Structure 1
Amino acid sequence: MKSMKAEITYNNKTYNINLAKPLDISLSLRGDDKNPIAWYLQSPKIFPVKDGDFIGKVSAGSSTNFNTIEFNPHAHGTHTECVGHITREFHSINDSLKKFFFTAKLISVEPENRGVDKVITEEQIRKELQKNDVEALIIRTHPNYIDKRTRKYSNTNWPYLEENAAKYIRECGIEHLLIDLPSVDKEKDEGKLLAHKAFWDFPKNTRFEATITELVYVPNKIEDGNYILNLQIASFENDAAPSKPVLFKLDAETSSA
């Protein structure tokens, strides 16, 4: 594969990134029971359109494959959401996310036991993240088994982000938070959504351009550290949309004037 180098300047240093070597941390959407699922829904569906004698499938005699897809962005794969996820007023992710390249840091955290819960704490985040360090934070939870790609999360009481941890992340200047869980909040929290609200600083000083991306998957071969993040979404006029976050490794650091 040919090298496709680009220069990025960050903190008065210039780095090369190789655009030909992307590190995809998204989950693909499948139309079967191997798809990850959360929020008590069934598997997404991908099926050919039928209209009279027409079946939108080449193997069934059509000239094209012509599928309908039924899914929920929050429940069926990697998705990026804006504050419109928790507001009475409508806010679209398509209007909130207008830039797509960010400095980013990947950290790995093993949630701590707290009664029957597993929690990502402020102390854990403080050990890994400093103020004004980067624009985006990716949290990989341990253990990081490959079955995250197909896991059925409903009624599992997955790990979640402590409210103070989300607040600290916001105070560090993080605009885009990514995590490999169905939600930054507890599965059943009586609608409190404490981490969502703390990260978006809702409702007092709402950060309308900040985003949360959930259900990413970061393979173990990708090392913790700093990257460039390309965060792309499908152009949905909705609070959330399917997304494809991709990381690029920073190489060849040199001083910059």
Structure 2
Amino acid sequence: MIATIKHNDKTLTVDFSQPLDISLPLTNDNQNPIAWYQDEPKIEPVTMGDWIGKVSEGKSWTNFNNIFFNPHAHGTHTECLGHITKDFYSVNQHLKTFFFLANLISIEPVEVGDDFIITKEQVEKGLNGTNPEAIVIRTLPNIESKKHKNYSHSNPPYLSDKAATYLREIGIKHLLIDLPSVDKEHDEGKLLAHKAFWNVKDVNQVNEDARFNCTITEMIFVDNSIKDGSYLLNLQIASFENDASPSKPILYKIIANH
């Protein structure tokens, strides 16, 4: 379906018939990506005595599964500043609109010592003077193993705090990336990129100008068939009252922008 919509002060013609899903599914096997030293997620039928909540077992009319997972460790998730603050803030309370103009850019992180870092200069070059509501960062090389990787103890690439500050300063509200974190895996709790993007100066007493309505989405996967450029982003979360929720970001091609 091709539709013309009003978004902010723009008129967009968007192809809604071809959604581009950039989320990773949650599975209960070794195909599921893992981070932060967790085991695989569990999806298993409820058992009560000799009753099993699984139709194929012959004792249930329905499939009735329990699911145990960690949103930060087991796939695509969207988080608010409550991820790093002493006080509780829920992403379900702070993400209240779900369509945004987004730019997809591809970046090969720069090797610095033992690390691979996404720099401010790379982000600035990728955006090329634009300042959309959301940015989607695809890291290169973009290999299929990202979908199934165990990131624990692997020191993945990360975003420099200067790059995160730049994104905040140009007004980008939603940051999506195909890594388990925007910060370094072992950083002694500094969380410099998280703090810079959300403008959190003190996690114990959040400043009034912190960016409560801004989100970070991690562990996406953007297929190589999806070209860099501008898209309409639909950022949907499950209604968890938690600092983070599993999410399903979808990109839609913009045919015309008036």
Fold match, TM over 0.5? yes
Opposite residue 248 of structure 1, the aligned amino acid is: Y
Opposite residue 146 of structure 2, the aligned amino acid is: K
Distance in structure 1 (CA, Å) of the matches to 2:96 and 2:8: 22
1:142: which partner in 2? 140
Q: CA deviation at 1:230?
A: 0.1
Q: CA deviation at 1:252?
A: 3.3
Q: CA deviation at 1:199?
A: 0.1
Segments of 4+ moved more than 4 angstroms: 9-13
Opposite residue 236 of structure 2, the aligned amino acid is: Q
Q: CA RMSD in A?
A: 1.4
Distance in structure 1 (CA, Å) of the matches to 2:218 and 2:104: 14
Distance in structure 2 (CA, Å) of the matches to 1:39 and 1:122: 26
Matched-pair contact (CA < 8 Å) for 1:132–1:173: no
Secondary structure (helix, strand or coil) at the match of 1:250 reads strand
Percent pairwise identity: 61
Aligned with 1:158 (options 146, 156, 159) = 156
1:29: which partner in 2? 26
Aligned with 1:206 (options 210, 213, 216) = 210
Q: Find out whether 1:102 has 2:100 as its counterpart.
A: yes
Opposite residue 115 of structure 1, the aligned amino acid is: G
Q: CA deviation at 1:15?
A: 2.6
Aligned with 2:222 (options 218, 221, 224) = 218
Label 1:134 to 1:36 Cα distance change in 2 as closer, same or farther (>3 A): same
Distance in structure 2 (CA, Å) of the matches to 1:215 and 1:8: 29
Opposite residue 245 of structure 1, the aligned amino acid is: P
Matched-pair contact (CA < 8 Å) for 1:176–1:210: yes
Q: Find out whether 1:111 has 2:109 as its counterpart.
A: yes
Q: CA deviation at 1:7?
A: 1.5
Q: CA deviation at 1:133?
A: 2.2
Distance in structure 2 (CA, Å) of the matches to 1:183 and 1:246: 20
Q: Find out whether 1:133 has 2:131 as its counterpart.
A: yes
Distance in structure 2 (CA, Å) of the matches to 1:13 and 1:151: 39
Tell me the TM-score normalized by structure 2.
Answer: 0.94
Label 1:74 to 1:32 Cα distance change in 2 as closer, same or farther (>3 A): same
Q: CA deviation at 1:16?
A: 1.1
Q: CA deviation at 1:129?
A: 2.1
Distance in structure 1 (CA, Å) of the matches to 2:190 and 2:171: 23
Q: Find out whether 1:169 has 2:173 as its counterpart.
A: no
Distance in structure 2 (CA, Å) of the matches to 1:82 and 1:36: 21
1:185: which partner in 2? 183
Aligned with 1:120 (options 118, 128, 151) = 118
Tell me the TM-score normalized by structure 1.
Answer: 0.95
Gaps of 5+ in 1: none
Opposite residue 83 of structure 2, the aligned amino acid is: H
Q: CA deviation at 1:8?
A: 3.3
Report how many residues are paired.
Answer: 251
Secondary structure (helix, strand or coil) at the match of 2:104 reads strand
Label 1:130 to 1:252 Cα distance change in 2 as closer, same or farther (>3 A): closer
Aligned with 1:44 (options 41, 44, 60) = 41
Opposite residue 176 of structure 2, the aligned amino acid is: L
Secondary structure (helix, strand or coil) at the match of 2:146 reads helix
Matched-pair contact (CA < 8 Å) for 1:131–1:172: no
Distance in structure 1 (CA, Å) of the matches to 2:141 and 2:19: 24
Q: Find out whether 1:59 has 2:56 as its counterpart.
A: yes
Q: CA deviation at 1:10?
A: 5.9
Secondary structure (helix, strand or coil) at the match of 2:123 reads helix
Opposite residue 251 of structure 1, the aligned amino acid is: I
Gaps of 5+ in 2: 202-206
